[in-house]
Amino acid sequence: MLQRFSHSYFWILLTLLAFACLPSQALDYGLFGATKSELVAAMGWSNVNISWLWFGGVLIFPTFLFIKDRILRSRIELGLALLLIFFLLSSAVYLNYRFGYAIIFLALALLAISSNALANLKVLQADRFMIVSLLVVVLTIVLFILYPITTIFSTMFSEGNALVILEQSYILRIVWNSLSVSATVGVLSTVLGLCFALYTTRIATKRTRLLSKFFSVLPMVTPPFVVSLGIALMLGRSGYITDFLVEYFGFSANWLYGFTGIAVSHTLALTPMAFMILEGALKSSNVALEEASYTLRANSLQTFRFVLLPLLKPALANSFLVITVQSLADFSTPFVLGGNFDVLASQIYFYIVGTQLDYAAASGLGAILLGFSLLFFLIQYWWIGKGSYVTVSGKGYRGAFQPLPSGLKSLIFCILAVWAGFTVLLYGSIFYGSFTVNWGVDHSFTLENYRKLFGQGLDQGGFPSLIQTVLFSLIAAPISAILGLLIAYLLTRRNFVGKQSLEFVTLLCFAVPGTVAGVSYVVAFNHSPLYLTGTAAIIVLSMVTRNMPIGMRACMAALQQLDKSLDEASFSLRVSSLQTLLFVTLPLLKPAFLSALVTSFVRSMTTISAIVFLVSPSTRVATSYILNRVEDGAYGLAVAYGSTLIMVMMLIIGLFGWLMKDQRQF
């Protein structure tokens, strides 16, 4: 009996201790900022309230120790734990009760009891670590992905104002604008990404591959609106290229603003993402199929068209989906270059951040945006799901890459040259503009922008937001990478009920636009039971859930290349799954895991679409600070901060490359 008690009921004692020492109700100014009277009032034992039933409910579990049938006891424990969780959430919502710190220990106790019961019921081969991992993943997805999304629809239908907004005639125009831009950007970025991927895998030498990757990936470490600012410095009303076009070709000074500017900026910013997706697909393709095509007397063009391109169908569809959703979600580029060309994301931003402060209308537009994103995802999922694209088996022949058609090579060379030249001009304009007094008016050299940002101490200028952004990203990146690893391990190494649903819902995170995610967090966590608005926790959670699928995709691809016999050999030596994951699997996954870690960190540092709705005066982030400078018309400060952010990101990627130089060939 004592052994049975030690598995789960230690958490019950810890929960009761937390009930006595920690507040059960949330404090407005935090644990250390509350007065003595506020702290006592937040304690669950200070007065009769619903928390007595919550914490008293766990005292029922020790009575089950006397049930000798372990299966029956485990079923009762699991049922009661689920009932308490439902009662905890529903009663807190009904009574408008905001959870305090003691509830964390109550949740951990219920999680421990549930995992112990599932282990006794032989779920996941009674592996407690895998059971706990699955429960943590499911709770994370339900609480911080599915629940916020459902609040958008509930808010839209509970408040009639949202439906009135959707009936306005201009909404159709905004929807068409958004779809036309995102579809155009999706096609252009995917085509350009394919060109760059073909160059690095089929054409480039070792030296030129490094240079081409640098130019291809550079925009990825740059916030989208910083790219927009650079384009405005070049092609805007006061841009030097615009001056040339106006003087010699009669162009209008406003030719950039609108559809053209948004499409150019998004294509430049999002093509690196398509490049990374397609390069991985090209590297993993089996060239033996291309050799077989040549043996059947097909020329290089026919082989490329009828063999290679069909095999890239999943990667092309995935690239188009990711790019389209990213373009739909970005409001910062339309904010800078949109002019009178309104899109859904920017309209949502103005509904929340502007003077209207209309959450219902924002939820309505967010529901439309989410609907189109999910539609694209489902079409892609259905389209690539009907065929088989496996080309690499366990024992395959790996030959040399086959040459591309000469005409295609020439086209790729031209595209890459134009891209490289434009990138040099763009980033040259960004860095040069950060050292000018007023771009387009006074190009005198000055360090005033950097002095205002970083020359007034750590608590003034741009330092607070930069430090907090680095801190938030350092917290979020490991969590998202670890969760991604756990999901990938569960999906590739374990069989359980709902496995396909878990994979589908996790992949669905890619289809949720950042703007929608930000709005959903504002609506969902602005009231009980989880009041997180204005805290650092909501920003970190947003970063984690947005980047978690990246770790999952990277680790799944690597795990599928590892034979399961490695894990089985470890288990045969009576090593636990946790030890196997840490000391057998993870060392082999180190490149993929570190790649997911760094990618998550970079994305957290440069994110804007979701974070902008969640920041507060006490939780400022770098991208929000830059956007505020753009709103104020301080473009010099904005590009100076953007230049600093780019250098920080390049330094981090360089450090990552140095750490990984012995484990992969760049």
pLDDT tens digit sequence for 585-605: 888 888 778 878 888 888 899
Task: Give the residue numbers spanning the domain of 355.
Answer: 159-284+320-388
- The reply to whether 384 falls in a domain is yes
pLDDT for the residue numbered 372: 85
Instruction: Calculate the alpha carbon distances from 574 to 4, 577, 579 in Å.
Output: 22, 9, 10
pLDDT at 395 over 70: no
- Residues 601-615, buried b or exposed e (16+ Cβ, 10 A)? bbbbbbbbbbbbbbb
Which residue in the block uniquely carries the two structure tokens 């998550």?
A: 600
Give the separation between CA 446 and CA 434, rounded to whole angstroms. 9
pLDDT above 70 for 293: yes
**CB within 8 A of 110, min separation 6: which ones?**
58, 81, 84, 85
Residues 550 and 456 occupy one common structural domain: yes
Task: Enter the tokens of residue 429.
Answer: 């304009």
- The crossing angle, in degrees rounded to 10, of helices 344-353 and 514-524 is 30
- State yes or no: pLDDT of 359 exceeds 50: yes
Check whether residue 90 and residue 196 sit in a common domain.
no
What are the Cα distances from residue 138, in Å, to 103, 132, 484? Answer: 19, 10, 12
pLDDT score for 212: 72
Q: How far apart are CA 527 and CA 155, in angstroms?
A: 13
Residues 6+ apart with CB under 8 A from 142: none
**One domain, residues 507 and 582:** yes
Q: How far apart are CA 42 and CA 573, in angstroms?
A: 50
**Would you place residue 104 in the very low, low, confident or very high pLDDT band (cuts 50, 70, 90)?**
very high
Residue 67 lies in a domain: yes
**What pLDDT sits at residue 177?**
93
The answer to which of 35-44, 162-171, 325-334 has the lowest mean pLDDT is: 162-171
Peptide bond into 513 cis (omega under 30): no
What was the pLDDT predicted at 389?
Answer: 42
Give the pLDDT score at 167: 67
Q: Are 553 and 485 in contact (CB under 8 A)?
A: no
Residue 99: φ, ψ to 5°? -65, 140
Can you name the residues that pair with 436 across neighbouring β-strands? Answer: 445
The Cβ of residue 516 has, within 10 Å, a number of other Cβ atoms equal to 31
Please check whether residue 424 lies inside any domain of the structure.
no
CA separation for the pair 654, 477 (Å, rounded):
17
**Rounded average pLDDT over 360-382:** 80
Q: Which of 73, 96, 121 is the last residue of a domain?
A: 121
- Domain limit, last residue, from 97, 121, 145: 121
Is 35 within the bounds of a domain?
yes
Residue carrying the six token digits 């780019």: 646
Q: What CATH number does residue 527 fall under?
A: 1.10.3720.10
Q: Is the pLDDT of residue 5 over 60?
A: no
Q: Are residues 106 and 7 in the same domain?
A: yes
Q: Which residues contact 136 (CB under 8 A, 6 or more apart)?
A: 111, 483, 486
DSSP code for 401: P
Write out the H or E segment, with its range, that includes residue 5. helix 2-8
Q: Compute how many other C-beta atoms are within 10 angstroms of the C-beta atom of residue 69.
A: 9
More confident residue, 387 or 106: 106
Q: What is the DSSP letter of 548?
A: H
Residue 388: per-residue pLDDT: 43
Looking up tokens 């395959």, which residue turns up?
Answer: 396
* Co-location of 188 and 326 in the same domain: yes
pLDDT in tens, 185-198: 999 999 999 998 88
| Residues in CB range of 10: below 8 A, 6 or more apart | 112
State how far the Cα of 218 lies from the Cα of 42, in Å rounded to an integer.
50
Average pLDDT, integer, range 15-33: 87
- The answer to whether the beta carbons of residues 302 and 359 sit under 8 Å apart is no
Once rounded to an integer, what is the mean pLDDT over residues 457-467? 87
DSSP state of 99: B
Among residues 94, 121, 148, the one where a domain terminates is: 121
Of 288-302, 312-326, 558-572, 591-605, minimum mean pLDDT range: 288-302
Q: Based on the domain organization, do 546 and 656 belong to the same domain?
A: yes
* 8 A C-beta contact, residue 470 and residue 539: no
Do 461 and 594 belong together in one domain? yes
The phi, psi pair for 113, rounded to 5°, reads -65, -45
Q: What per-residue confidence (pLDDT) applies to 275?
A: 86
Output 301 or 72, whichever has higher pLDDT: 72
Dihedral, CA of residue 349, residue 350, residue 351 and residue 352, to nearest 10:
60
Torsion, Cα 52 55 57 63, to 10 degrees, reads -120
Same domain assignment for residues 383 and 439: no
Residue 624 vs residues 118, 332, 427, 619: alpha-carbon distances, Å: 44, 10, 21, 10
pLDDT at 4: 46
**Which residues does residue 442 pair with via DSSP β-bridges, in sequence order?**
438
Least confident of 125-134, 386-395, 532-541: 386-395
What's the pLDDT at 237? 81
> Percent of the chain having pLDDT more than 90?
25
Average pLDDT in the 74-83 region?
93
Total domains in the chain come to 3
291 domain residue, yes or no: no
Q: Tell me, yes or no, whether 174 and 115 share the same domain.
A: no
Same domain, 181 and 67: no
Q: pLDDT-based confidence at 165, cuts 50/70/90?
A: low
For residue 456, what are the contacts with CB-CB under 8 A and spacing of at least 6? 463
pLDDT at position 461: 84
Domain match, 250 and 381 both = yes
**Average pLDDT in the chain:** 83
Domain annotation covers residue 362: yes
pLDDT digits (tens, 9 = 90+) for 499-537: 888 877 887 777 788 888 888 898 889 888 888 988 899
Amino acid at 122: K
Q: What is the DSSP string of 507-534?
A: HHGGGS-HHHHHHHHHHHTSSSS---TT
Give Cα separations from 401 to 198, 203, 210, 387, 641 (angstroms): 11, 9, 18, 24, 43
| Confidence label for 469 from pLDDT (cuts 50, 70 and 90) | very high
Compare 383 and 221 and report the one with higher pLDDT.
Answer: 221
Look at residue 52 and tell me whether its pLDDT is greater than 90: yes
Q: What DSSP assignment string belongs to 360-396?
A: HHHHHHHHHHHHHHHHHHHHHHHHHHTS------SS-
- The encoded tokens of residue 109 equal 């106790």
CB neighbours of residue 391 within 10 Å = 13
90 inside domain: yes
Pick the residue with more confidence: 399 or 612? Answer: 612
- CA distances (Å), origin 344, targets 161, 178, 263, 379: 17, 6, 15, 21
Bigger pLDDT: 269 or 290? 269
Looking at the domain assignment, is residue 278 inside a domain? yes
Q: Please indicate, yes or no, whether residues 111 and 26 belong to a single structural domain of this protein.
A: yes
Average pLDDT for 356-373: 79
